[in-house]
Structure 1
Amino acid sequence: MIIFKIGGGQSINLKGIAEDLAALNEPKIVVHGANALRDELSEKLGISKKVVTSVSGYASVFSDSKAIDVMMMAYAGLRNKRLVELLQSQGVNAIGLSGLDGCLIQGQRNRGIRVKENGKIKILRDFSGKPRAVNKTLLTVLLEQGYLPVITVPIADENGFAINSENDDIVALLQSALQATTIVQLIEAPGFLENPSDPDSVISRLTIRELRMREQQSAGRIKRKLHALVKIFENGKPRVIIADGRVEHPVKNALNKKGTVIQ
């Protein structure tokens, strides 16, 4: 079992990914983002994106009701169905699902995000939360019947309402439930970079211990992503590959270890 996490950047080569996945005869699941498309739609609709950073140093997108609407349009709507379309055109019987569908991914809504504003601690409440459970029965049936699940947000909260969640956390939860042997993350970079501004500073290999150290030393958005990567190894010992999603053959290159391998 391989879990593919496809980044939501504008330059990700979705067509190349679809072509590569069509040639891969192994059980697989896709989890995808759509952040660039979300930002584009937000701008057209006049809805500004708000990023907040908790007192513990983790950054996230503040998800009010308007943000959830835009997310549904971008993630579960346009990006999900276009990706399914590309896969179907390559002969892959893909099925697009949000975590809300069939309660595929159920989470717990956040009680509040503790932030510091003007020297004071403030609690912000929104429609976001952590994924807690996977409808493994539904996924198993789909996989056994030859479908490729293509999954994205929103997920369902404990009362069945749509909430935003981090795809990195969803991948970690799927890994725990399905015990995938490999997780491939396709991003807008050649791999995990020592220096984010230098594309030639790819770290070819990282140990889990080194990953934990880097999480402790980081802040903001990257801290959250590193934390989710660390969680992947809490309930299994998969191989994680972070590779370039912009190249001609993103999946083939990744499986040939062209990027960063974490083990």
Structure 2
Amino acid sequence: MVIIKIGGGKDINLKSIIADLKSINDKLIIVHGANALRDELADKLKIERKVITSQSGYTSVFSDEQTIDLMMMSYSGIKNKRIVELCQQNGINAVGLSGLDGKVIQGKRNSGIRVREAGKTKIVRDFSGKPQDININLINLLLNNGYTPVLCVPIIDENNMAINSENDDIVALLHSRLKADKILQLIEAPGYLKDKSDPNSLIKKISRDELEKIENEVDGRMKRKIYALRKLFEFGETTVIISDGRIENPIQNALKENGTVIK
């Protein structure tokens, strides 16, 4: 079992990623982002995005109803179906699903996020939450009949409402139930960079024990990503490869362990 997480940046080479899936001779699941497309649509529709930072230093997009609508258009609409289209063009019989469809990714809405604004602590509540379970019967039905699931947010909460969630947490949840041998994360960088502005600062290998130290050294969205990676290993052994999703043959490149390898 291989889980492929495709970043949502504008420079991700989707055509090459999907064409290169032939390098994998195993069952696979795709989880994808669409943040660049979401922001592009927000600009066109004149919808303002708000990023909040929790007291513990984790940043996230404030997800009101307009944001969820944007996600349905960008993630589960345009980007999901374009990936499915590319899969079909390359002989991969893909099925695109948001977490809502068939309750394939179920979560719990956040009770509130403690943030610091203008020197004051306040609790904000939005349509976001943590994934907690997957519809394993639906996933196995697809995989066992030769289909490739292509998954994205929004997911569904305990009240059957659409909520935003983090793809890193979704990947960890999938691994907890399916025990992936490999998890490929394709991003807009050669791998994990010690200095994000310096592509030559690539860290080629990280042990699972080093992740907590790194988490304490970074901030913002990277802090959340490292935390999710650390939690992922609590669900069983795997190999995580963070590699460049902008190049030609990105899957082959990742399988050769070019990038950052975490074991």
SS of alignment partner, residue 159 of structure 2: coil
Number of matched residues? 263
Alignment match, 2:29? 29
RMSD in angstroms over aligned alpha carbons? Answer: 0.7
> Which amino acid letter does the alignment assign opposite residue 162 of structure 2?
A
CA distance in 2, matches of 1:27, 1:77: 24
SS of alignment partner, residue 10 of structure 1: coil
CA distance in 1, matches of 2:48, 2:157: 24
Alignment match, 1:261? 261
Unaligned runs of 5+ in 1: none
> Which amino acid letter does the alignment assign opposite residue 110 of structure 2?
N
**Contact 2:23–2:251 (Cα < 8 Å) also in 1:** no
Deviation at 1:24, TM superposition (A): 2.3
CA distance in 2, matches of 1:132, 1:148: 22
Identity of aligned residues (%): 61
Alignment match, 1:69? 69
**Contact 2:5–2:186 (Cα < 8 Å) also in 1:** yes
Alignment match, 2:5? 5
Alignment match, 1:208? 208
Unaligned runs of 5+ in 2: none
Deviation at 1:120, TM superposition (A): 1.3
Is 1:153 aligned with 2:144? no
Deviation at 1:219, TM superposition (A): 1.5
SS of alignment partner, residue 194 of structure 2: coil
Deviation at 1:23, TM superposition (A): 4.1
Alignment match, 2:41? 41
Deviation at 1:22, TM superposition (A): 3.2
SS of alignment partner, residue 26 of structure 1: coil
**Contact 1:187–1:242 (Cα < 8 Å) also in 2:** yes
Superimposed CA distance per residue, residues 89-114 of structure 1 (whole angstroms, 9 cap, x where no aligned partner):
00000000001100000000001111
> Which amino acid letter does the alignment assign opposite residue 165 of structure 1?
S
What is the TM-score when the length of structure 1 is the normalising length?
A: 0.99
SS of alignment partner, residue 252 of structure 1: helix
> Which amino acid letter does the alignment assign opposite residue 130 of structure 1?
K
> Which amino acid letter does the alignment assign opposite residue 178 of structure 1?
L
**Contact 1:22–1:91 (Cα < 8 Å) also in 2:** no
Deviation at 1:117, TM superposition (A): 1.2
SS of alignment partner, residue 234 of structure 2: coil
What is the TM-score when the length of structure 2 is the normalising length?
A: 0.99
Superimposed CA distance per residue, residues 45-86 of structure 1 (whole angstroms, 9 cap, x where no aligned partner):
000111000001100000000000001100000000000000
Superimposed CA distance per residue, residues 111-149 of structure 1 (whole angstroms, 9 cap, x where no aligned partner):
111101122111111000000001111000100000000
Alignment match, 1:185? 185
Alignment match, 1:138? 138
1:205-244 aligned at under 5 Å gives the runs 205-244=205-244
CA distance in 1, matches of 2:231, 2:24: 27
SS of alignment partner, residue 235 of structure 2: coil
CA distance in 2, matches of 1:163, 1:211: 28
CA distance in 2, matches of 1:203, 1:217: 15
> Which amino acid letter does the alignment assign opposite residue 71 of structure 1?
M
Q: Which runs of 4+ in 1 moved over 6 A?
A: none
**Contact 1:50–1:61 (Cα < 8 Å) also in 2:** yes
**Contact 1:134–1:174 (Cα < 8 Å) also in 2:** yes
SS of alignment partner, residue 95 of structure 1: strand
Alignment match, 1:80? 80
SS of alignment partner, residue 55 of structure 2: coil
